[in-house]
Structures are given as structure tokens and as C-alpha cells.
Amino acid sequence: MLRFTHRQPATIRFNVMVQRIAAVTDIPLAERRLDVRRRVFKGGVIMFDGTGIDCTVRNMSDGGAALDVANGAAIPPRFRLSIRADEFVARCRMIWNDGRRVGIAFD
């Protein structure tokens, strides 16, 4: 049973409900996202501790992105993503990493 406090806006309650329903069904992970991802092909830089790692942004939404990298093992759990072409900089956290592609959420 889903329970919500009266302090949560309706959109948060709806998003939590969708996440919980998706978690217990056979809905593929890509379909569980609350934000629609747009396919892109942009150069980016993963920035942390005074260094940068080049990446390619493959898809992006208001809540996160998927990045192609040469070595996913070198990426920390939290970093900044810069996309110079869009003058975009965001704090990020890694959600998943398969070694060559990294899924991130914007903080």
C-alpha cells in the first residue's frame, strides 16, 4: 500500500507511485524513467579533483544522461559534467557504469 504525507506535492506523489509500480513489474529499465531522454551526440567533460575526462553525451533528459567514456573505472561516484557547446555545467552522480557507458543523474 502506498502512503504519502500531506506535505508532498501531487507531482512527487505521482512520481513515487510510478517508480514503485515499475519496480515490481516487468517494465524494462528504460521505460521506468520519469523523464523522456533525447538522443544527442555531444562532446562533454567529466570534471573532478582538478582533472577532466572526455566523454560523449549519448542521450539526455532533465534528470540525467548516458555518457560514453573510454574507461568507466576512472570515474568517481560524484562529479561535474560540462558540455561546452551548450554552455551547460551540472553536478552529477553516477547511477550505473558498465565500463564504456555511464548512466548519471543530475543533482
One CATH from 3.40.109.10, 3.90.1150.10, 2.40.10.220, 2.60.40.1220 for 38-106: 2.40.10.220
Residue 35: predicted pLDDT:
73
Over residues 7-27, the pLDDT tens digits come to 545 555 555 555 665 555 555
43 has which bridge partners?
Answer: 56
- pTM of the predicted structure, to 2 decimals: 0.67
As averages over each run of 10 residues, the pLDDT of the chain (107 residues) reads 50 57 56 75 97 97 96 96 96 97 96
As a three-state string, the secondary structure of 37-71 is: CEEEEEEEEEEECCEEEEEEEEEECCCEEEEECCC
Residues of the chain with CATH 2.40.10.220: 38-106
